[in-house]
Amino acid sequence: MTVPPQDDLSVVALAGGVGGARLVDGLDRTLPPDALTVVVNTGDDFRHWGLHISPDLDTVMYTLAGLSPEDRGWGIDGDTFYALAEAKRRGVDDWFQLGDRDLITHLSRTGALSRGESLTRATAELCKTLGVERPVLPMSDAPRPTSIVTQGGEELVFQEWLVKARAAPPVREVRHQGTDHTTQAVLAALTTADLVVICPSNPYVSIDPILTLSGVSDALRNTTTVAVSPILDGKAVKGPLATMIAEIAGREPSAEAAAMHYEGLLDGYAVHPGDAFDAPFPLLETNILIQSKEDRVVFARELIEFARSLR
């Protein structure tokens, strides 16, 4: 059941990987056609096996296409790994897991980029072949790589830190390299949005890359913006966020600490039961653990109702 058309909000979701994709999936099942645009972090993009890999775009696309596995946050459900096994056998880099079916995504994208197409256009083509109808926009067509400066002073490309180094080296700083240009498509979506939803993705490495782009934070200040806490009961559902909050901000990881990171941008904030705090904006205190498809839809509806009450 979708929200009735008379209540038609134009929603833009800012998303990173798994947590973002799950909320986007809930919003997709809740909002009418043309009411949702997804802007996705591309700070994690990197080249591997000569291919342009966009981990967060893929997670969002696969989730919307119904292809994501239940038990892990990447790749295609039921995919095989024969190419990867061959790479391993030959001593080719095998630290990043690419499935055989998944490879078609990276090959298609890399081919399109090498023909001079933009990442925005390559993503639209991929969405079409995957049957994804919602607009999924990369945050930028230009490289904007996220890097991690460790407390030991080493600078690692994000995926190398996250996957190859298993997010073990303590973080001193997150850097955003490249240009700060977003795209016309992203700016158009943000400036016409009635509501921007900051998904429960890692603020430092999934959302900040989007927010640092020229014009994005200003657009958020000019519309209703709500975020969903990426921290539940002091812990991240997945990934290294809790440790990063301690290491970078010097704070105990909490829903409040994550909200403070978005200071000045938020008109509302959703937290898990028991995580409420004394906030300068309204809080929605409800189940934000949205692993199942059912929970995603229930929460997305609550979030939209909450956001509507703020306008």
Of positions 10, 110, 223, 243, contacts a copy of itself by CB under 8 A: 110
User: Shortest distance, CB of residue 236 to a copy of itself, whole angstroms?
Assistant: 32
By CB under 8 A, tell whether 91 contacts a copy of itself.
yes
Q: Phi and psi dihedrals of 265, rounded to 5?
A: -105, -25
Q: Least distance (Å) from a copy of itself to the CB of residue 129?
A: 4
Q: How far is the CB of 19 from a copy of itself (least distance, A)?
A: 26
Locate tokens 């090498």: which residue? 114
Two structure tokens written together for 36: 């949702």
Of 101-109, 211-219, 231-239, 245-253, the window that binds a copy of itself (rule: CB under 8 A) is 101-109
The nearest distance, CB 99 to a copy of itself, in angstroms, is 8
Q: Which is nearer to a copy of itself, 86 or 155 (CB)?
A: 86
Among 70, 114, 263, 264, the residue binding a copy of itself under the rule CB under 8 A is 114
For the segment 132-151, give every residue that binds a copy of itself (CB under 8 A).
none
Which residues contact residue 117 at a Cβ distance below 8 angstroms, ignoring those fewer than 6 apart? Answer: 125
Instruction: Please give the span between the terminal C-alpha atoms of the chain, in angstroms, as a whole number.
Output: 23
Least distance to a copy of itself from the beta carbon of 47, Å?
A: 9
Q: Which is nearer to a copy of itself, 133 or 305 (CB)?
A: 133
Interacting positions 61-90 with a copy of itself (CB under 8 A) = 79-80, 82-83, 85-87, 90
| Least distance in angstroms from the C-beta of 114 to a copy of itself | 6
The least distance separating a copy of itself from the CB of residue 177, rounded to whole angstroms, comes to: 20
**Contacts of 71 by beta carbon, 8 Å cutoff, 6+ apart:** none
Size of the site for a copy of itself (CB under 8 A): 24
* Of 8, 10, 29, 108, the one binding a copy of itself by CB under 8 A: 108
Identified binder of a copy of itself from the candidate list 10, 29, 77, 100, rule CB under 8 A: 100
Q: Please, which of residues 33-52 interact with a copy of itself by CB under 8 A? A: 49-51
Among 3, 130, 197, 271, binds a copy of itself (CB under 8 A): 130
Q: Is 107 in the site for a copy of itself (CB under 8 A)?
A: yes
Of residues 170-189, those binding a copy of itself (CB under 8 A): none
Cβ-based neighbour number of residue 16 at 10 Å: 29
Binding footprint of a copy of itself on the chain (CB under 8 A)? 49-51, 79-80, 82-83, 85-87, 90-92, 100-101, 103-104, 107-108, 110-111, 114, 129-130
